[in-house]
Every structure is written in C-alpha cells, then in structure tokens.
Structure 1
Amino acid sequence: MSPVTRAWHRLADSVLAEFSISNSSGWCLTHLSRLGPDTRQRELAEAIGITPASLTRTLADLDRRGLVARQADQGDRRANHVRLTDAGVALAQQIEARLTALRAELLEGLPEADIALMVSMLDHIAGRIEQRRLRA
C-alpha cells in the first residue's frame, strides 16, 4: 500500500502545483471543504495527518491569502474554528474537480465490483488500525 500511497501523493501534489499553492495548503483546503464549515482546528489537523503546529503555519498563510477564516471557540478560547471563505470554497472546488478527474483516470477500466471490494478492504484495514491505536 505504501508505494501506491506515495505515488498518489506525488500525482496529487502535481495537481496542487497547478493552482500555485503548496501541497500542505491544498490538502488543508480540500479537507476543510470535506469536513464542513464549522471545523475545529484540531479536527482538521487529525484529518490531514499533521501536527497542530504545522497546521497553524499553513492556516496563517491561507488566512493572509483570504482563503480561510479562523475564529476562537466561545466555549474554549484555546480552540479555534476554521472555515473557508468564498475564495477558499471556489479554490477547493477547483482542486476537488481536478483530483476527482485524476482518480477517475486512474480507476478507468476497473470493474465497479473490484473498486467496491478494494474500498471495503481498505476500510476494514483502516478500522483495525484505529482499533489497535485506541488500545495502545
């Protein structure tokens, strides 16, 4: 799985470069788009798989560029909520469209049943990994 994951990230990163943004910024935008408008910063970091400190730097850059807005949590001042601005939504949609086209190209010719089985197997493995992580 690791070689496929690395190859996918290289391809996806080349798509992000087309939009003149760093891969960390691009992944931040796409994950934030998927998570929805009221996302906690820690939740976003977990979804992307990076440290909260790394995310803070990326969000500061995206905020300066007018692509995201951050707001302190009213109940917990240590926590921040993040949302896409209109410009961020537009860019995230463009990125998602390109990534969707890339996925379609890579999966072209594979029977739907094979794709469904592959997704099911990967979900099963991910679930087992999460169970193991929670036990540790």
Structure 2
Amino acid sequence: MLSGMRMRHIPIPQAIRESLRCFAAAFSAKKLTLQLYCVMIAKLKTQLSKGGIPVLDRFEKFSLAISEINRYWHKLAAEELAPYGLKAAHATYLTAMYRHREGITVPELCEECGKDKSDASRMLAILEEKGLVSKQTSGGSRYRGRMLLTDRGLEAAEHVCRRASLAVEAAGSDLTDARREDLYRSLESITQNLRRLSREGIPQE
C-alpha cells in the first residue's frame, strides 16, 4: 500500500515490509477494524521512524487524527454511560435506536451502526439484561422482531444524544459554519471512498 508512495527507491527493512504485508492482508480480507487500524498505524509509524524512512505528512495526520478522535470519543462516551452500567460501545446502538423509536430489527440495526450480527447480538443482550431494550417477536422469530427502547432505555439514549451534541458543538467551536460543512462533506467523501476500496480492493499502480 505504501511502497508506491515516495518510498519506491528507498530500501525497506524486513520488519516494515512485514507490517505493510499484514496491513494489506487485513484490508483485503475486510478485517481491518478501526481498533486494528490504529494499532497497525502506530506500529508502522514507529518502524518507519526507526528505519529512517520519511512518514508522509498527509497519511500521518489523517491516521493520527482518526485515532485520537476515536480514543477521546470512547473516553467521553464511557464516562457518560457509566451511571447506566454501560460502556462506550453501547452508545452507537442507543443513538441508532433513539432515531428509530418505533422499533428496528437486528439486521436494520447492524446496517445502521455498521456492525456485524455477533457484535449487535452481544451488545443488545447486555442492553436487554439491564432493562434498556425489549424485543418484539415477529412470526416466532426474535431475530426478525423489532428492538424497542424501554422507558429507562429512552432516558439513557436521550442523555447520550444530548451530551454527544454538546461534545460535538464544543469540539467544533473554532470552526465557522462553512468550514464545518466542508469538514463533514470531506469526511463523507473519504468514508464512501474507503468503503468502495474495502469492497473492490486498492487499485494497482
């Protein structure tokens, strides 16, 4: 992935070659989660620095920014959900279900949150155990039934949505409306392009 980016004529140490190979393999196999991505980027950055190979500014800034945003958001979300006995990972499900207060099926929720069935089932089981969501069966199938927020679940979802809005507003307080619009438009474009690359693979040079 990086060998064609200003590194073509620089000898690459074996350790870095192996990191690049693992990175590409995970990406191609569609197993490159955000957490794994951040770990690999940090490792690769360290190896590049030790190997005397220049780190690309744009690549580095983007990777570190995504990593930091993810870390800080999880820290804030965890603090806000602690009173409900939940972790940061539950915030995504609560906010999605808050947008679908009439109920949402598990497949729809997976699509909405960008999660797989096993993760959704695990998170929903915890939310149900804590009395925050309930299931309505459909034709005897709980999987195809609709997930609904209980009164306490609605309270938790409203809390995290309200606090998230305040956090986003504070984080972007230095941005003008025009710059904020450009930022979201750019992030949407990058996300769509990465989604396409994850399906089709990275083009050959």
TM-score bucket (shorter structure)? 0.7 to 0.9
Q: 2:131 aligns with which of 41, 63, 66?
A: 66
Q: Match of 1:27?
A: 92
> Which consecutive residues of structure 2, in runs of 5 or more, have no partner in the other structure?
1-64
CA offset digits 1:11-50 (Å, max 9, x no partner): 3333323543222333321221124423111221333343
TM-score norm. by structure 1 comes to 0.80
Q: Which of residues 37, 50, 56 in structure 1 aligns to 2:121?
A: 56
Within 1, Cα distance between the matches of 2:99 and 2:90? 14
Aligned residue in 2 for 1:2? 66
Q: Which structure would you say has the larger RCO, counting Cα contacts within 8 Å and 6 or more residues apart? A: 1
In the TM superposition, what whole-angstrom CA distance separates every residue of 1:104-133 from its partner, at most 9, and x where no partner exists? 111112111100000011111122233334
**Contact 1:73-1:79 within 8 A present in 2 as well:** yes
Q: Is the 8 A contact 1:15 1:99 kept in 2?
A: no
Q: Following the alignment from structure 2 to structure 1, what is the Cα–Cα distance between the partners of residues 159 and 73? A: 18
Larger radius of gyration: 2
Q: Does 1:39 align with 2:104?
A: yes
Aligned identity (percent) is 25
Which deviates more, 12-21 or 83-92? 12-21
1:109 and 2:174 aligned: yes
Between 125-134 and 62-71, the greater mean CA deviation after superposition: 125-134
SS at 1:104 equivalent = helix
Tell me what 1:119 maps to. 184
Q: Secondary structure of the equivalent of 2:146?
A: strand
TM-score, reference length from structure 2: 0.57
Q: Indicate how the Cα distance of structure 1 residues 59 and 76 shifts in structure 2: closer, same or farther if over 3 A, else same.
A: closer
Equivalent pairs, count:
136
Shift of 1:98: 0.9
- Aligned-residue CA RMSD (Å): 2.5
Q: What amino acid is the match of 2:185?
A: S
CA deviation after TM superposition for structure 1 residue 86, in Å? 2.0
